[in-house]
Amino acid sequence: MAEGMLKADRDNMTTQNPLIVIASNRGAHTFEPDGENGFTVRRGAGGLVTALGGLAERHEVMWVAAALSEGDRAWAARQGGQPSEVEGVLLRLITPDLDAYHSYYNVIANPLLWFIQHQLWDLPRTPSIDRQVWDAWEQGYVAVNRQFAEAIASVVSGTDRPVIIFPQDYHLYMVPGFLRPLLGPRVQIQPFVHIPWPGPDAWRMLPAQMRDAILTSMLQSDRIGFQTKKDAFNFVQTCRFYLDDVHSRGSRDSVEVDQRVVQASAYPISVDVEQLRTLVDEHETRLLKSQLITFIGDRRLILRVDRIEPSKNILRGLQAYRALLEQHPEHRDRVQMLALLVPSRMEVLEYQDYLREIMAEAGMINAQFSDAFWEPVRIVVGENYPRAIAAMQLYDVLLVNPIADGMNLVAKEGVLVNEHDGALVLSEHAGAYYELGDQSISVSPFDVYGTAEAMHRALIMPRSEREARAAALRERVQGADVRRWFYAQVADALAALESH
Ligand code: GDG
């Protein structure tokens, strides 16, 4: 138990006041040695960081994450394995063996689990679960998850206050299973899964031993949070299908196992409305916006903003744009497609190939349709969040067509900051569809023809209809900010603690 924690226990907290522990692969802070025996701290972006801002004022929050850089490792070494306060949060960084971390992150979590949960396989060829993958499972994924659980247990085991632990996402599926024997039933374990949870059939790609280990571990939780009710339902079905002695007795959102009930609940993640408004007003964003206005001219803007990631379906989006220009020549020279693409996992061969295909397709569209004044599609590759927010203010059509997406925050940010009463073309397989679908123009991500027609419909939609839809969408996002997402999880965990 850390010295700092004991002091907080004594001074500030009553036994009613819970300790909240977040565990995630990537933490909220990164560290760089400052050359003077100290460290420069940088705060990461992301919904969880925002949501915690307000929470840390009311509750004591501890964050356990992996050290991801040399600077992080040096900071962790300096703390000697103890949590230390950083911007109001007690932070503990674990420092896994580098090979183990590589196996956990680059062999199991990202290629295997991400691909299964977004159903991205080319089944005759991949996945190919060979000896290396099995080793990575045991010595990487399982080992790093165990290390996370041990770090969490060590920071909470000395407190007699109620404890709620929130492991985040697909990197940490084994944490509940390791934690429960270490901490017993007195703690609430409540993971949140940010990405889709597909139905039982998708999980057949994973060998039974790995699959059952993940499901059994997750069922050591008290409640599991998902982005949508569909994901929660799929989880319940997956457990029923693959595990013996697991029942749901007709319930769509809970599983009975060993005479315990594990809830599967939907907590749709959202954006930080206040922070986005501030960002819109910042000088840099305004400057980028005026540059974009010049670039767009009097054409109508079709925008997409994505990580370069096959599940985002960027390639079919371009094919649909080509089909739009072919099927509806009246839009030629009157529209501008802008794709802001953020590099992601660029060391992975499949991702490099995917970017190459995107650039080739865009090049072919420009070769076919451009004239002296018009370049039909502009691809911008790079990291620039203010530019993305500036562009979102200006779109007439926002194209969000993922094959599968846990939520898709671009859809929510877009409808919030847009100033053109733009239309949202939204995949029915984005989590955001459950909240925004009825006011968007929905598409099947595989239907290139249908996506072209959806963009056409968006472009010719009468002004009054566009205004009404845009207003309804904006209102919906305003009313469900990211804080609400996190507080709802905390409230349910607190209620469960009280009923114990
Ligand atoms: C995962 C799930 C789920 C845009 N340009 C830049 C930049 N962005 C922002 C976007 C948006 C965020 O990055 C991307 O979030 P998404 O939700 O769209 O997608 P994933 O990255 O795949 O997120 C997803 C999410 O987790 C939360 O649970 O919604 O389904 O896949 O806010 O505007 N960010 C930075 N630089 C840019 O240039 N840093």
CA distances from 260 to 19, 116, 219, 263 (A): 23, 28, 9, 10
> Which pTM does this prediction carry?
0.95
Token pair of 366 as six digits: 């420009």
Which residue is it, tokens 């993940």?
Answer: 214
- Is the CB–ligand 1 distance for residue 44 below 6 Å? no
Nearest ligand 1 atom, CA 271: 32
Residue 435 corresponds to which tokens in the numbers above?
């909240």
Residue 83: name the closest of 25, 23, 4, 153 by CA.
4
Q: 30 alpha carbon to ligand 1 midpoint, in Å?
A: 19
Q: Closest by alpha carbon to 74, among 31, 41, 35?
A: 31
Contact 47, 482 (CB under 8 A): yes
State which H helix or E strand residue 432 sits in.
none
d(CA 284, CA 416): 19
What whole-number distance in Å separates Cα of residue 420 and Cα of residue 64?
A: 42
Q: Is 195 in the pocket of ligand 1 (CB under 6 A)?
A: yes
Could you tell me which residues are beta bridge partners of residue 165? 21, 189
Q: Is the C-beta atom of 410 inside 6 A of ligand 1? A: yes
Q: Are 459 and 331 in contact (CB under 8 A)?
A: yes
Burial of 131 (0-12, 13-18, 19+ CB in 10 A): exposed
pLDDT in tens, the chain (500 residues): 333 343 344 344 333 688 999 999 999 899 999 988 899 999 876 666 666 666 777 788 999 999 999 999 999 999 998 999 998 889 999 999 999 999 999 999 999 999 999 999 899 999 999 999 999 999 999 999 999 999 999 999 888 889 999 999 999 999 999 999 999 999 999 999 999 999 999 999 999 999 999 999 999 999 999 999 999 999 999 999 999 999 988 888 999 999 999 999 999 999 989 989 999 999 999 999 999 999 999 999 999 999 999 999 999 999 999 999 999 999 999 999 999 999 998 988 899 999 999 999 999 999 999 999 999 999 999 999 999 999 999 999 999 999 999 999 999 999 999 999 999 999 999 999 999 999 999 999 999 999 999 999 999 999 999 999 999 999 999 999 888 998 899 999 999 988 87
Length of the chain counted residue by residue: 500
> How remote is the C-alpha of 7 from its chain's centroid?
35
The Cα–Cα gap between 57 and 410 comes to 28
361 lines ligand 1 (CB under 6 A): no
Q: How far is the CA of 364 from the centre of ligand 1 (A)?
A: 28
Which residue minimizes the CA distance to atom 3 of ligand 1? Answer: 407
**Atom of ligand 1 lying closest to residue 406 CA:** 30
> 270 C-alpha vs ligand 1 centroid, how far in Å?
11
Distance CA 466, CA 457 (A): 11
The minimum-distance atom of ligand 1 relative to the CA of 307 is 21
Cβ–ligand 1 distance for 405 under 6 Å, the answer: yes
Using CA atoms, how far residue 301 sits from 42, 84, 433, 435, in Å, is 34, 47, 22, 24
**Helix (H/G/I), strand (E/B), else coil: 19:** strand
CA–CA distance, 320 with 8 (Å, rounded to integer): 57
Ligand 1 centroid vs 47 CA: distance in angstroms? 9
> Coil, helix or strand for 184?
helix
